[in-house]
Chain A
């Protein structure tokens, strides 16, 4: 138990002194997971909405694929992305293995199905005739989609938080494709694993606490946006 206490103290110390290495790791965590989440939003919300509103043969199959994707084991994603990015792999020419870019890629692959699946469910949960009512008000298809997305704001933001939460806490893929290189591709989660394997439990716990704080802050902001809509 005093290990945890030591860890809390260490966390405070690192934060208050703005320890440069820890600041760097934290910023990189935010950058990588933030970018990956943004990408997943762009792809996930647009595709999820599209599928929710469309009818085509094999739709149910596609939806179950997406739902399965929501539970993709991150470490498996990491493995596949690594194989693709190897020098001898199909995308090897990009030369992005062991870079933050590769981490963003892997995390985007993990987060996108989550955002897509939740968007799909959220849009489908809207009243059946709402889409028609919006069109009847004279909206273009694009305007209609935008209004529907706004109407589903509550569950969609939950999806954003789920996507972000899934990748900020992810470690398997990040280690594999990033390499945990000091000052370059090391993030909070990978650093925690490394410190643990070295036996530096106090630092590991401190990093863990910082990660929790970071995740909490981000989700606080997102929750504010989600729950704000108290018209006078």
Chain B
């Protein structure tokens, strides 16, 4: 009978030892930065490269919360994040105008592409203007998958529909997945539909997809990233110093160099184009 107790004590001891590290002491608040960004930004892998450099250099610990653009900005509005790295210019401008954000600075851009089935039933290949392509898809009644999740991609897509003068809501050929970019691309590939995607995610998944790039290069398809610090005047609790440090880091020369070459070895072309210091209007091919 004694043996049973000994075993029980041993097992409990092992469990306790295993569990101690989980009680990580709450780090000093000042050393934490909450960065709200989008899932596509995180999924690109760029932050996995940049953040360790930043953390090593400054000693800050960056908590990257990857959500949709909409949620990221709401977090900023509530003061639950310290700094935002997002790509929804219209919403961002409103964010700053309403006094929630300060120091909105351009960081980089990449672009969106329209992908679709190899057969291209709507015959959009070669169309220069994206709005034209979308009109063709609508009139052909070809299947179009939307992310439908208020993400940056979804906002861009809505902008293009608006610019084409078409309201796809409720139409039979327009389906909203509510999913992330990678999953939506998979669905489009499976169902032979069209979708709007950021180049980075498409390139990463290309080998598993049956979709091809059918439209690209249009200025409207530019996906522009800004870093915005949450306004400490509105929310005294935000880590203003940390936010500034991160933002400064993102537009620093060294970082911009890294952004320039990120993805080349893996995909043959860079995923992002550094733009710090430029004006937004200047961008475009």
Contacts of A34 in B (CB 8 A): 15, 18-19, 22
Nearest chain B CB to A230's CB is how many angstroms away?
11
- Check B24–A99 contact: CB distance below 8 A: yes
Nearest chain B CB to A26's CB is how many angstroms away?
12
Question: Interface readout for B48-86 with A: 1 if CB under 8 Å, 0 if not?
Answer: 100000000000010111100000000000111000000
- Check A197–B18 contact: CB distance below 8 A: no
When C-beta atoms are compared, the residue in chain A nearest to B48 turns out to be A182
- Check A196–B18 contact: CB distance below 8 A: no
When C-beta atoms are compared, the residue in chain B nearest to A221 turns out to be B11
Query: Contacts A196-B183, A198-B204: A98 and B79 contacting too (C-beta < 8 A)?
Result: no
CA distance A32 to B24 in the complex (A): 11
- Check A86–B78 contact: CB distance below 8 A: yes
Contacts of A30 in B (CB 8 A): 18
Partner of A35, one of B19, B78, B183, B185: B19
CA distance A94 to B26 in the complex (A): 8
CB of B43 within 8 Å of the partner chain:
yes
Question: Interface readout for B122-144 with A: 1 if CB under 8 Å, 0 if not?
Answer: 00000000000000000000000
Partner of B43, one of A95, A96, A197, A228: A197
When C-beta atoms are compared, the residue in chain A nearest to B22 turns out to be A31
CA distance A166 to B237 in the complex (A): 35
- Check B182–A179 contact: CB distance below 8 A: no
Query: Contacts A180-B66, A198-B180, A199-B185: A96 and B26 contacting too (C-beta < 8 A)?
Result: yes
Nearest chain B CB to A38's CB is how many angstroms away?
7
CB of B21 within 8 Å of the partner chain:
yes
- Check A31–B19 contact: CB distance below 8 A: yes
CB of A87 within 8 Å of the partner chain:
yes
- Check B78–A31 contact: CB distance below 8 A: no
CB of B219 within 8 Å of the partner chain:
no
Contacts of B61 in A (CB 8 A): 184
CB of B186 within 8 Å of the partner chain:
yes
- Check A98–B66 contact: CB distance below 8 A: no
Partner of B23, one of A35, A88, A194, A197: A35
When C-beta atoms are compared, the residue in chain B nearest to A97 turns out to be B80
CB of A134 within 8 Å of the partner chain:
no
Contacts of A96 in B (CB 8 A): 26
Interface size class of A (residues with CB under 8 A): 35 or more
Interface size class of B (residues with CB under 8 A): 35 or more
| Chain A at the B interface: SS class | helix
- Check B78–A88 contact: CB distance below 8 A: yes
- Check B179–A95 contact: CB distance below 8 A: no
- Check B63–A199 contact: CB distance below 8 A: no
- Check A104–B22 contact: CB distance below 8 A: yes
CB of B171 within 8 Å of the partner chain:
no
Nearest chain B CB to A65's CB is how many angstroms away?
29
Contacts of B181 in A (CB 8 A): 197-198
Question: Interface readout for B206-219 with A: 1 if CB under 8 Å, 0 if not?
Answer: 00100000000000
- Check B179–A197 contact: CB distance below 8 A: yes
Contacts of B259 in A (CB 8 A): none
Contacts of B63 in A (CB 8 A): 98, 179, 181, 184
- Check B34–A98 contact: CB distance below 8 A: yes
- Check A87–B183 contact: CB distance below 8 A: no
Nearest chain A CB to B210's CB is how many angstroms away?
13
CB of A133 within 8 Å of the partner chain:
no
Question: Interface readout for A55-98 with B: 1 if CB under 8 Å, 0 if not?
Answer: 00000000000000000000000000000001110001011111
Residues of B within 8 A of A (CB): 4, 8, 11, 15, 18-19, 21-24, 26, 29, 32, 34, 39, 43, 48, 61, 63-66, 78-80, 179-183, 185-186, 201, 204-205, 208, 235, 237
Could you write out 22 A-B pairs with CB less than 8 Å apart?
A28-B22, A31-B21, A34-B15, A34-B18, A34-B22, A35-B19, A87-B79, A92-B237, A95-B26, A98-B63, A99-B26, A100-B22, A101-B26, A179-B65, A197-B43, A197-B183, A198-B201, A199-B185, A199-B186, A199-B201, A199-B205, A221-B11
What 7 A-B pairs have minimum CB-CB distances, sorted nearest first?
Answer: A199-B182, A197-B180, A31-B22, A198-B182, A199-B205, A179-B65, A98-B63
Known contacts A34-B18, A196-B183, A198-B180; 12 further A-B pairs (Cβ under 8 A): A31-B19, A34-B19, A35-B19, A35-B23, A87-B80, A87-B237, A92-B237, A95-B26, A98-B65, A194-B43, A196-B182, A198-B205
